[in-house]
Every structure is written in C-alpha cells, then in structure tokens.
Structure 1
Amino acid sequence: MLQPSATVRNNPQQSFYQYGKPSPAGVTVMRDLDFNMVLDLEALLREGSVVGAAKRLHLSAPAMSRRLANLREAVGDPLFVPAGRGLVPTQRALELREKIDALAEQMRKVFMTEEVDLSTVERTLVLRTNDGFAGAWAARLAQRVAQEAPGISLRFSPRADKHVGALRDGLVDLEIGALHPGDDDMAEELHNQVLFKTPFVGVVRAGHPLASKKVSLAGFIAWPHISASRTGSDSGPIDDALAARGMQRKVRLVAPGFQSAVMMAASSDMIAAAPARFARWATEHLDLHVFPLPLATPEVEVSQSWHPRRHADPVHKWVRGLVRELCSEDD
C-alpha cells in the first residue's frame, strides 16, 4: 500500500484535490508534463508503493515522493489517497493504468532495436566502389539480397573521389575499396572494416608469349603496360617498386579501373596488373593468364566504410554482413 508522500503530509493547506490548475472554463490544464511521468506513474501503479517504485526506477524514496507530487499537479488528481496508514489509487489512476502501460511499452519500443522483417523492407542502398569490386561481387551480392529482401535494391556508384561528404550526407550508404593512409576515406568519424588483403598479379591474354614461361623482371618491363587509375595517373605501386631498382615500364594505356584494364589486356599484347582476388574472378569470364609479379609490391587492403549515422541501422548492418560473408567465401 502506498505511503502518503511527504509533500502532501507536510502541507495541511493543500487538499488532495488541489493539484490541478483549473482554467477559467473549469478544464484542468496540464503543465510541465514530460515522458518521465509516464514511467513514474507506471512504476507507482505496478509496485503499489513509493518505496517499490523508487527501487524500480533506481531513485531514492524522497525523489520518488517528489515525482508523485509532480504527477498530481500535472494530472489534476491526487492519483493516490490515504487509506488507513497507506495510500490507494484513485479512480482516475485506475482509469489511466491501461493507457499508461500501453504508452510506456510504446516508448520503450521507440528506443529498442527491433527485429526487422527483411521480406517487407522497401529500400535502395547506394554502394560506392570501383569497377573491379562491382564486377566480381555486385551480381552475387544482389542475388543474395533478393533471396531474403526482394524489396531492397542496390545501386553501385563509381568512386570518383575519396571524400566522406557523401557518406556524411547519406547520399552513399557504404564505401568499398582500397584505403591508403592520408585518404579522406580514413576520416576518424567513419567505421572501417577490412574485407580482405590481396597481392597484385600480372594479367595477359591467353596465348601471350609471357603465358608460357616464368615471367622475369626483364621480360615484364619489355612489354607495354596498362595502368588502372580512376584519376588517370600512369604511375602507381608497381612504378614505385621499379623506380627503387632504377627501372621503368612502358605504360601505353591508362584504364579507369581494373575491370577495363584486364579487358584491354585480353584483347591485346599489353600487360595489366590487378588485385589477385579480382584477377581470379576475371579468368572465369575472360580468356586470360595470370602470373605472379616478378617484384614485390604492397598488398591491396580492401575495406568497407560507413558513417556512424548508419551503424545501428539493422538493414545496413545486414547488408554489411553479406558483403563480408561473400568476400570471405573467396578466401
């Protein structure tokens, strides 16, 4: 049974029925109402005592008594009245019980992560990546998504730059590609997850003279090359490794991405270089020969990055998991 609150007990001038602030028309005006009051009243009704409600809400008994006083003033009803040595709920409190329980449950659901029925989700996610990743994994990813979430569409966007503005603004949901120190992709605010690491390999058409023998460094630089660069640069890690040896290759073509580079190699005598994971996929669709580079170059580290605004999104989290799963399957 509820004990009378100190606020009421110590104020003989205040009647139990003077908590509301009547308007001139006689309608009670509720002032200073906040959502905490819903949880306060729910706790009082469930526990049946100020002490019990205080424990439920991790408050002190005096603090709970003050909250009861605020409730009485806001609702315009004493809510709990003396009955012997304790308090019992008024008719108004009993009438509010069902509504308060439902409202409190709704409030909790607003702030809880609920199970999402993927089969009912209608949404488009934008993934920004290079053509190599899109070529090797986009179709498989879309197929996996369609199996469980047919209402989700994927739109792949080219990595024209490395700025995080599109991720911040929600124009891009997920960034996939190689990250390098100093890239704007590496902004501290982003979440980054490494998908895989892979070395560069050489790629030539099947039947190329280099396809029938071990490729030496001299043989490697003797043939014209295709460089893959979204910025149009004809220099990269391979050129840096060659320069360290005082050597240089002949870059005859600059392709916008790895996919176009290996396609050019497949129809010419030029050499392309690509990440091994992508080159392995390319050989399944093009008549190509892949060989280890005759010099050491840094491995490519491919990651997926996203802004914190999407981190707790259950649909986004599910798609990130699929991307990681697909990349792991190709290990």
Structure 2
Amino acid sequence: MQAVDLNLLLALDALLTERSVTGAARRLGLSPSAMSRTLARLRRVTGDPLLVQAGRNLVATPYAEQICGRVQALSRDAQAVLQPAAGRLDLASVHRTFTIRAGEGFVEMMAAPVMAAVAGSAPHVRLRFVAKPDKEPEPLRDGRIDLEIGVLGTAAPELLTQLLFRDRLVGVARCGHPILAAGAVTPERYAACGHVVASRRGEFHGPVDDALAELGLSRSVSLVVPGYPDAMRVVRGSDLVAAVPRTCLGNRLTAGHAAGLGLESFELPIRAADFAISAIWHPRMQADPAHRWLRETIAELCRKAYP
C-alpha cells in the first residue's frame, strides 16, 4: 500500500468527469499545471494514457471508460468514510443489533418501552438484553456488549457514563402482611421479620445488614435469590420481606405494577443512601451516530418513567 495515494483517486474521478485538465483543476481547487502533473502520475500508476488529445478536447481511453463508474463510486465512498459521522444517520436504513447488559429489574420495567421506541424510529434495529453477572469492563472494551445500564462498579478510567435516574431501596411485603398493619415500620419490627435477599453472588450479608448493625440489630435471612424480580415473586407468596430498588415497583410508563403483583411497599426504617443508575459505554462508541441515538432514546424514556 506504500504506492497508493487516495488523492489520485479523487483526481482521476475529477478528470474522468470533466474530461478536461482545466475543468478538473477548477473542481479540486488546483492549478492547471498541478493537475497536469497529477495526470502524469496517474498514467504512470495505471500504465494507461487515460485521457488523450482529440483535436481541442480530451477523450477517454477504453480502459478509462471501463473504470469510470467504479472510480466515481470509490471516490464517493472514500469521501463519505472520511467525513464527520454526525448528521448522516438515516434511522430507517440502519440494520444493527445492539447488546445491552442490564439487571433484571431494568429489563422487566423498561425493555418493552425501549423496544417500542426503537422500533418506531428504526424498524431494522434489534436489541439483545443480556444478564449482568458482574460489572467487569472487559465486555465493553472488546465489543461483546455495546451499552450497560446500572451502577458504575468498576474503576476503568476510560468508560463514559450518563446519569439516567437516581434510585433507592424500599421494603416490600405481600398485601396483608402483619408488618404493614401496625403503623410505621420500626427497625425492630423490620429486623424481626424473615427476609429474602437478592444477590447475584449468592451472598446473605449486604448493606441492609450493615445499617441494622449500626442500630445494634440483626435480621434473619432465610433465602437468597439471583435478582430483585425473583425476590418480589417470593415475597408475594410468603411472609418474607425484601428490600428492592424503588424503580422495581413501577414507573410512569407501568403504573400500578406493584399492586398488580400483590405487593405493598414501605420505607425502610434504616439509613439507606440512594444510588445512581447510569448508561455506561466505551469511548470507541462515543461518536457512533446509531449508538448515540440509542443512548439518547433510553435516556429520554428514563426521564419520562422516573422524573
């Protein structure tokens, strides 16, 4: 590739279009003498005269006529590739599959609205939601996933983020549970209940236990399940209680979700800080128009769902 000069491709396109050294020079903003030298280079590179004198005009050789259409197409493609990506997105013609790593709660609450919004604008775009066993950055770095939704849990310095909404833990119990029948839930009454915990790593101990310990209390965790939706299903059919993100109970786009599940929520009687849910991506996707559109679509839906 050392002998390849893409400027020659653009010059050849101009010469074959104009059939004139002067016209080609004007098109490319060069002097006629510079264009003459470029034509000489093209003749050496291709081994063909390309354009020859016929009276006062230049005419194309058979080889030049043969490659004319290909040269025009290659010239357009080269210029398109080297132009800024912004402003060239035609959603109707985008054929892409985006892989999104997200927790079960986000998938349950937001996958359907996101897919509806995507399909309405980009009918050939497909989404693949995958499980989130950890928060390692490698799948973002090597392209196995395009976007992550959740709490930033890695120190990878290059990852980019956009805040989608803030969340916090609340308690949930089945409708009619005794903990809901006697006014405000106290730390003592909360700790005395049986508990189900959601943990991807299968851990029985978590931040709720640390907060109870600060009050000199402990709880009995009877069951650990992989995700928050699993914990909510267990709570619905038992006397166990759980702590889940508030957003798992529904949003402006899924009104009445918790009631439909037969659950009631209550404020946790312990110190529990809120946390940020963000979109997370690798810098190599930052300028990609379709990826940027997907990020903006998800962010707008989250603003509507969790104002």
Common fold by TM > 0.5: yes
Alignment partners' CA distance in 1, 2:33 and 2:79? 26
Q: Kindly state the Cα deviation for residue 266 of structure 1 after the two structures are TM-superposed.
A: 1.8
Instruction: Rate the CA distance shift 1:47–1:245 in 2: closer, same or farther, 3 A.
Output: farther
Q: Which residue in 1 is equivalent to 2:247?
A: 277
Q: Which residue in 2 is equivalent to 1:16?
A: none
Q: Which residue in 2 is equivalent to 1:23?
A: none
Q: Pick from 178, 186, 199 the counterpart of residue 209 of structure 1.
A: 178
Alignment partners' CA distance in 2, 1:124 and 1:264? 34
Deviations 1:27-52 (A, max 9, x none): xxxx9342121234557869938996
Say if 2:169 and 2:244, in contact at 8 Å, map to a contact too: yes
Structure 2 residue 231 is matched with structure 1 residue 256: no
* Higher RCO (CA-CA < 8 Å; seq separation 6+): 2
Alignment partners' CA distance in 2, 1:39 and 1:178? 49
Alignment partners' CA distance in 2, 1:147 and 1:90? 52
Structure 2 residue 157 is matched with structure 1 residue 188: yes
Alignment partners' CA distance in 2, 1:284 and 1:35? 64
Deviations 1:276-310 (A, max 9, x none): 12223541431211112222222121122223444
Instruction: Rate the CA distance shift 1:68–1:265 in 2: closer, same or farther, 3 A.
Output: same
Instruction: Rate the CA distance shift 1:70–1:304 in 2: closer, same or farther, 3 A.
Output: same
Structure 2 residue 24 is matched with structure 1 residue 91: no
**Match of 1:322, SS?**
helix
Structure 2 residue 102 is matched with structure 1 residue 129: yes
Deviations 1:229-274 (A, max 9, x none): 1111122222222233333222221121111112211222222111
Deviations 1:178-204 (A, max 9, x none): 223xx2xx4233332221111211111
Alignment partners' CA distance in 1, 2:232 and 2:164? 22
CA RMSD of aligned residues (A): 3.5
Say if 1:198 and 1:300, in contact at 8 Å, map to a contact too: yes
**Match of 1:296, SS?**
coil
Alignment partners' CA distance in 1, 2:175 and 2:249? 13
Structure 2 residue 166 is matched with structure 1 residue 197: yes
Q: Which moved more, 1:294-303 or 1:139-148?
A: 139-148
Q: Kindly state the Cα deviation for residue 65 of structure 1 after the two structures are TM-superposed.
A: 8.2
Alignment partners' CA distance in 2, 1:290 and 1:189? 38
Letter in 1 for 2:122: A
Structure 2 residue 239 is matched with structure 1 residue 265: no
Alignment partners' CA distance in 1, 2:233 and 2:142? 35
**Match of 1:91, SS?**
strand
Structure 2 residue 301 is matched with structure 1 residue 326: yes
Q: Pick from 231, 238, 243 the counterpart of residue 201 of structure 2.
A: 231
Structure 2 residue 111 is matched with structure 1 residue 138: yes
Superposition map of 1:159-178 within 5 A:
159-178=132-151
Instruction: Rate the CA distance shift 1:106–1:50 in 2: closer, same or farther, 3 A.
Output: closer
Structure number with greater Rg is 1
Structure 2 residue 80 is matched with structure 1 residue 109: yes
Say if 2:21 and 2:35, in contact at 8 Å, map to a contact too: no
Alignment partners' CA distance in 2, 1:243 and 1:52? 80
Give structure 2 stretches of 5+ with no counterpart: 252-256
**Match of 1:162, SS?**
coil
TM-score calculated relative to the size of structure 1: 0.72
